[in-house]
Amino acid sequence: MEGYKMKTIPTFGYEIIRDHLLPSILGKHEEDVLYWAGKEIARKFPLFSMDELPSFFMEAGWGQLVLEKETKDELHYILLTTEELPLNIVQRCFRLEAGFLAEQKQKQLGYLTECYEEKDNDKHVVKFTLKWDLKEKI
C-alpha cells in the first residue's frame, strides 16, 4: 500500500479487537456488518487486479490467500494460516475478508459479485467462493 509505512503490530492486540471486541459490540449483526465493512475497505483500497490480493491480505494481517480454482463465473480461494500470521480459524468470522473479495472483483469485472466463506477447522483453512452474475451488470 503505497504511502503507508509498514509497522509491526503485536498479533495479540489485533486479535483482541477482531475476535473479542467486535463480536461483542456487533452481536447478532456481526456477519452482516463485517461483510459490508469489507466492501467499504475495498472501495477505499482498490486494487488494479486480483493478482494483488495475496500481497494485500498479507500486509493487512489477514493471512496467506491462494487462488485454488477459476471458472467462467467463479473464483475459489483458500486462506491459509502461517507461522507469521496464526489465524484463529475456529473462532473468527471471515465475513470482512469475504466482503473485501466480493467488492474487489465486482469493481474490476463490472458484474454483481458475492462471496461465501467456509471454514475447514481440521485443515485450518478458510475457503472463499466468489460468484458473479453475468446477467447483472453494475
Q: What is the pLDDT along the chain (138 residues), one digit of tens a residue?
A: 556 566 666 778 888 999 899 999 999 999 999 999 999 999 999 999 999 999 999 999 898 999 999 999 999 999 997 666 667 788 899 999 999 999 999 999 999 999 999 999 888 899 999 999 999 999
Query: pLDDT at position 33, please?
Result: 98
Whether residue 58 lies inside any domain: the answer is yes
Element (H, E) at 30: helix 30-44
What SS3 state is found at 113?
Answer: strand
Which of helix, strand or coil describes residue 48?
A: coil
62 in any annotated domain: yes
Domain of 55, CATH number, reads 3.30.1380.20
Residue-level pLDDT at 128:
98
pLDDT at position 14: 82
The count of other CB atoms within 10 Å of the CB of residue 109 is: 16
Give residue 36's pLDDT.
98
Q: What pLDDT, on the 0 to 100 scale, is given for residue 28? A: 97
Count of the separate structural domains present in the chain: 1
Are the C-beta atoms of 35 and 96 separated by less than 8 Å?
yes
Question: Which three cell numbers mark 23?
Answer: 463480536
Phi-psi region of 2 (alpha: psi -120 to 50; beta: other; left: phi over 0): beta
Say if CB 117 and CB 127 are below 8 A apart: yes
Enclosing domain of residue 105? 11-137
- pTM here is 0.90
Specify the pLDDT at position 124: 85
Q: Which residues contact 4 (CB under 8 A, 6 or more apart)?
A: none
Q: Is residue 64 part of a domain?
A: yes
